[in-house]
Amino acid sequence: MSFMEQSRNQAPRGWRKILYINWPLVLLVIAVSSFGFLMLYSVAGGELDRWARPQMTRFAAGLVIMFVVAFIPLSFWRQVSPLAYVFGLVLLVVVMFFGSRGMGAQRWIDLGFIQLQPSEVMKIALVMVLALYYDWLEPKKVSRPLYVLLPLLMIAVPAMMVVVQPDLGTGILLVLSGGVVMFLAGVSYWYFGAALSLAIGAVVAVMLSRGTGWQLLNNYQYRRIDVFLDPSLDPLGAGYHITQSKIALGSGGLSGRGFMEGTQSRLNFLPEKQTDFIFTTMAEEFGYIGTTILLILYTLIMIFAISAALKNKNRFGALLIGGIAATFFFYFALNMAMVMGLAPVVGVPLPLVSYGGSAMMVLLGAFGLIQSAHIHRPR
């Protein structure tokens, strides 16, 4: 554990840490979130108090959390990783029995001041515990079956618990984020090839099981798949979301209708216009130029995060940054693909932009972890 001593020796101390923060990343996060405030203001029809102001308040709180997390030495986070994972599992069990229902799924724990979504916590905790696992594991052992099975279980248990909530989108995100950490850790390509084949096999099995006694998914999930493949099957029912979303997106054109000039979301043609479908409002009002700018901002976040991971010689830190960045990536890529009709509607918010308290807090906390790994990296 000598490299830990070394890193502690070379790491900045006290308030000087603020100078070592990865500031471009912070500014990019603020820029994307501000984009979100604008959109929340717009979809509320120019009403600040409806969504924009609460979102800004939470963002401010989230920033505080981010800095606090960033200033705490990475060694602390390394040590609490298993605890965070267990805590996440406990929360998932709790939500199974005591959670509030929302949108047909049991996902929330009402803590009074905030509605906590355990699956959000789990996304980060899973990345943390996997990073710790591969930091502990000798690199040459990573591809041994027994050492592959353990992280797979660590991923599968929470993922299954989330899927039965049911929240397929977050379940897939958990699998993908965990997979990315395994990938970065150097697990053999053969396993990923096998996993891909398994996934394809699973899809085939899911489709074949339809209507039989051992049907693997709920009917509404099958319907989403059908409608995803052909939205015109049900333009006013299940396909309504996709159809309306594409109309709003496409009608924005190159430069958009202008801020506050969007018609589709304001006239309620769009569902969940302030959460999962907020990207369409942005697309309608700011056009292709606006959506490209947002995509560039997200890409820049990814570039800064990945380069931070590459610079980080601490294996735990590098894996943590890479895993969190990948989770973030899956968030926005899935959301955009979903609203643009490239992926089924699985209910993934647009990170930092969609209205929602706990997702925002957890995400900013995760960026705090990235910063902590960055500040406390070995030099």
Partner 1 sequence: MKKPINTAHEKNRSLTRRALVLGGMQAAVIGVLNWRMRDLQVTQSSEFRLLAEENRIRDRLIEPERGLIFDRNGIALAQNNPNYRIVMIREQAENAPLVLAELARIIDLPPEKREAIYNEMRKRAPFVPVAVAEQLSWEDFARVSANAPSLPGIITEVGLNRFYPMKEDYSHIIGYVGPVSEYDLERFKNPDPVLQIPGFQTGKTGVERELEDLLRGVAGSKRVEINAVGRVMRELGRNNGKKGADIQLTLDHDLQNYAQYRMQGESAAAVVMDVHSGDVRALASTPGFDPNQFIFGIEADYWNGLIEDEYRPLADKTISGAYPPGSTVKMVTALAALEEGLVDPKEEIYCRGFIDLGNRRFHCWKRGGHGNMDLTNGLKQSCDVYYYEISQRVGIEKMALMARRFGFGAKPPLPLPSLSSGLVPNMQWKFDRYNERWQVGDTLNAAIGQGFVLASPTQLAVMTARLASGRMVQPRIIQRIDGVAEPVEQAPSLQLKPENLDLMRLGMFRVSNETRGTAYSSRIDEPSMAMAGKTGTAQVKGISLAEREAGLADKEDVPWRFRDHALFVGFAPYDNPRYSISVVIEHGGSGSKAAAPVARDIMLRALYGTTPPIEAYPRNLWSEIREQQAQEPPPNPRAAPADGSDRA
Looking at the DSSP bridge assignments, the partners of residue 221 are: none
Instruction: Return the number of the residue (110 or 193) whose C-beta is nearest partner 1.
Output: 193
How far is 39 from 34, CA to CA, in rounded Å? 9
Q: Three-state SS across 147-206?
A: HHHHHHHHHHHHHHHHHCCCCHHHHHHHHHHHHHHHHHHCCCHHHHHHHHHHHHHHHHHH
Spell out the alpha helix ranges (H) of 11-52.
Answer: 17-20, 23-43
Using the contact rule CB under 8 A, the part of the chain among 27-35, 56-64, 114-122, 263-271 near partner 1 is 263-271
Q: Give the HSE-up count for residue 60: Cα atoms under 13 Å, Cβ half-sphere.
A: 5
**Count of residues that interact with partner 1, criterion CB under 8 A:** 50
Instruction: Return the number of the residue (142 or 363) whose C-beta is nearest partner 1.
Output: 142
Could you say which residues in the range 304-333 bind partner 1, by CB under 8 A? 306, 309-310, 313, 315, 318-319, 322, 326, 329, 333
Residue 165 CB, shortest distance to partner 1, in Å, is 26
How far is 321 from 4, CA to CA, in rounded Å? 17
259 binds partner 1 (CB under 8 A): no
Q: What 3-state DSSP class applies to 116?
A: strand
Could you say which residues in the range 87-126 bind partner 1, by CB under 8 A? none
Residue 303 CB, shortest distance to partner 1, in Å, is 8
246 binds partner 1 (CB under 8 A): yes
Q: Where in the chain does DSSP place strands (E)? A: 100-102, 105-110, 115-116
How far is 33 from 231, CA to CA, in rounded Å? 31
Asked if residues 284 and 298 have their Cβ atoms less than 8 Å apart, the reply is: no
Instruction: Return the number of the residue (59 or 133) whose C-beta is nearest partner 1.
Output: 133
Residue 237, token pair as written in the block: 């029912």
Choose, by CB under 8 A, the member of 56, 209, 288, 297 that binds partner 1. Answer: 288
How far is 244 from 88, CA to CA, in rounded Å? 36
Residue 95 CB, shortest distance to partner 1, in Å, is 31
Q: What 3-state DSSP class applies to 48?
A: helix
Using the contact rule CB under 8 A, the part of the chain among 72-80, 111-119, 294-302, 355-363 near partner 1 is 294-302
191 binds partner 1 (CB under 8 A): no
Residue 271 CB, shortest distance to partner 1, in Å, is 9
Choose, by CB under 8 A, the member of 298, 316, 331, 367 that binds partner 1. Answer: 298
Choose, by CB under 8 A, the member of 19, 111, 229, 254 that binds partner 1. Answer: 254
Interface residues toward partner 1, by CB under 8 A? 2-3, 6, 139, 180, 183-186, 244, 246-254, 263-264, 267-269, 283-284, 287-288, 291-292, 295, 298-299, 302-303, 306, 309-310, 313, 315, 318-319, 322, 326, 329, 333, 336-337, 340, 342
